[in-house]
Structure 1
Amino acid sequence: MAIVFLLICLAAFAGVFAYFVTQALEQTRVRLEERSQAAAQVVAVNAGWLAQVAQQTLLRVDALLGPAMGGDPAVLRAAVEGLPEDVDVYIIDADANTLFSTVPGAEAVSVADREYFTALRDGERLYMSGMIVSRLSGENIFVFSRRVQRQGQFAGAVMVSFSNALIEDFWPSLNLEPGSAVSLFRRDGQLMARYPAADGPVDLSGHPLITNYLPAAEAGTYFSDGSPVDGVARIVSYRAVPGTDILALASIATNQSWQALRGAIVAVILIAAPIVLGLIAGGAWIIRLLRRDARRRAELEAANETNVLLFREIHHRVKNNLQSVQSLVRMQDMPIGARIDLQSRLSAMAAMHEHIYRNDRYEDIDAHDLIPVVVNEVVHAYGANVELSYDIDRVAIDRDHATPLSLLLSELVTNALKYAFSDGRKGRISLILRDSGGGRCHLVVADNGIGIGPIPDAPVSMGLRLIRGVVSQMGGTYRFVTAEGTRFEADLALTSTGHAPKP
């Protein structure tokens, strides 16, 4: 009762504590997910606005260039005058020469190798770059560019570049935990912009965000053990910006929230500590009692192990003694047939004892394992070349019936080897044992030999007398059937319960 009470108290405490921790974890996770999703929505709205600004600016500048790409610089400046401070516009001709720029000195920098120009030259109508480093200012930027065609030919490109600092402008309004981040990515995984700023380009093309989450849903949330940019663990919410190839991400650092949760858990542990100490004190007394009982059990187990070793040694010695008797039999001057019969019986007995001590089966022995061992040993001792087939159910044989069964099998197989194949035919012996339930079985030993012929009611040969005696000892009945060989069938008891009369 004390043990049960202790276990119930501990289980109750563990259950309540586990429920509290689980609920706290779930609430913290939900709160972080909701905040990151809301932040991702804000970032997506701003990203959509940037894309709209870029598209409208590209269209307006393309229209102002005229048929010969010779727009008035004053008109062009007026057209882009209302753009934010961190947005710049460039007009590039087909040879990558800068015709117009809102950045002084842009004419001295070539963009011939920039992908936002080469992609348009190679046929793309619109292009959106990942994060690149500006050759003019050294800042991280991303670029929207539009192919300009005149008379069906590539005439150049119009480009709008955005500074990474634009994201920083709406960062304060998100009010995220320290260590959090917001970013824009292309759908192919290339980083466009991030705050806090990344040290260089980032490629997430092989990240689960691109390979797993985005194909499954245009918006979602997942937990990242470590950011590919800075290694910080975060809750990440992403949202595809409609009408664009932009992904808006808001990543909330989880360390601060988990630390607060750990503090709450520690407070609960301190409150519950007296209860736990009381349970421990009671448990210590119970453990003392259990240790005393454990010592007694260990002594019993040691005694049992000693008995097992003794049984093993006995069976081993019996097997060795039987093998010694076999050696003596081989040295006796006696008819060879009688010698082989005796040797096969001794081999069957030795095989049974060896099987018992090798498998440490001293109470119940599995017929499926024992029968092939005994029969194979008899065939080996006889020196015959026959085909053996077994179909043996897994049924238990107790130690009082293992020896009679081994003798019966030895005698039946020996008779088949001696008489069934005397005309030189290829021998085959089949052994079938079916579990009849209640500790009984149905045994069949059949060969394809010449047949045993009529069996007298009162057998005179030693082998038949032995068979009748063993079957009687096992509380069974038997018969021989001559049909395409000899077939022995018997209903036998394999355990002491099999001898009980049926109700």
Structure 2
Amino acid sequence: MKSAQFAALRLGACILAVCGMAVWGVWSWREEITTLEEQGLAKSRLIALYTERLIQTQLILQEALLRDLSGQPGQPGELPGFERFGSLLTDIETLHNASGGVAILDTEGRIREAGPLYPQDYVFPIDDYHAASAQGTTVYIGRTNMPDAVSDRLYVARDFSAPGLEGIFVSMVTLDSVRAFLQQVAPQPDEAASLLRDDGYLLLRRNVSRPMMLDPAAPAMQALQGQLAGSYRAVAVSDGVDRLYAFTRLSDLPLVANYGMPVSAVRAGWLWRVGPIWMFVGLLALFIYVLAGRIRRAMELNVEALETRQKLEATQKVAEQRARLMQELSHRVKNNLALVLALIDRQIRTRGRIEPAELRGRIMAIAEVHSMLFAAGDRYDLDFGRLIDRLSSSEALIPPERALTVERDVETGIRIGPDSAVPLALAATELLTNAVKHAHPDGRPGRIHVGLHRIDPDCAQLTISDDGVGIVTVKGTRHSGLGIVEALVGQADATLERRDGDGTRFILTFPIRGHVTVDLPAGNVVRIAAAS
């Protein structure tokens, strides 16, 4: 794997871990909220059931009192059986240990008769009662507002009708018992348990506090609209604590039971639940991250070792190839020197002297071949087009003092091995030398054309032509230069064609082939030396 892939693996492990932790966190948070909502609803139902039982007890006492009074004699408009009525209220207060007093009020809110526990100085909110009755409320529930909040009482008021009597029955309950129950339901100090009236009047909380009226735009009032039960989140107006609330509406009563769990506690429970999973996923991602780094480093070391070994092997291979090349080139230099010696020997034998210009051209051609082979480096072939271009522009073959123009139309990129390059270069040198020396004798001006083109993928053609006097052949003899050219052409498996006309045109067709590790046989030198 490449470094980028390992980096992607490590980054992917981190991203996957983060995404997994996020998904698990969201899912577990929703599960935590759902669970706490269910628990909150269960506790709010418990508060509602307790409150219903408490209020129903007061209503049952009223019904019992009405049944008891229904059989008492009296005049219209008078309180029947006053002594009997007062004793009944006293008995009611005695039987109910949480009673805060029982009284019957007239329609103006004045006390007609009351038990000993009823606060005589309390002014009943008769206007609020009549307003609630006008809106269809049959049971009016409220709270007294004493100088000391600890002394406040919860009261239940209802129309009281008996023969010859029309008034309001009021039964009070001390808050200690109710508050103690709320504290059992919500034992923690930051938990909330309360009773709320439909109009937003907060009657009672688990802690000692004054009642208060909630704003109609408060989250609690908005959540209660038309709902029998549910949950909402809000910051409490009383203490500023952010809580998750659950509520249950009391059946047939204008009250709502509330239970609230602080969001901080919810969050703490959620973190306690999600923390181990996050830790495990994080450690797993860290393990993958570190492991991927170690694997990447180990693979990099292995790759570096492999590359070093491959470079060493390649270097050794190149060294061996260079050694073989140098050995072969040395052998070719030896053969080429033997060829030069054979040419010198032939020239002395046929002419009795050495022609320096011809010899220099031949040696230069061989030198150009070796120069290009050395410049090719590890390659075993050379660009024959470039070689011909260099030979045809050499002052050693075309002296600048001669009024000769050389036209070149040479295609480059035709690569051949040294097995063909040396004899073909020498053949081209001989043809150029003959064109300079014989086609334009006595320093005559003229034109020489050199062309090289590929005629098919495996074959090329070298053309050397002039506009000179042509080749004069004596009957029974052969031109010595052409004998050398034919011998060289044979070494390269090429063919030579001569066309006479306006000057002389030589067409040398040769195969395009690369390097073949074959030494120049000694017979070639002998054949060249014997050519005439």
TM-score interval (norm. to shorter): 0.3 to 0.5
Higher RCO structure, 1 or 2 (CA under 8 Å, sep 6+): 2
TM-score by length of 1: 0.48
TM-score by length of 2: 0.45
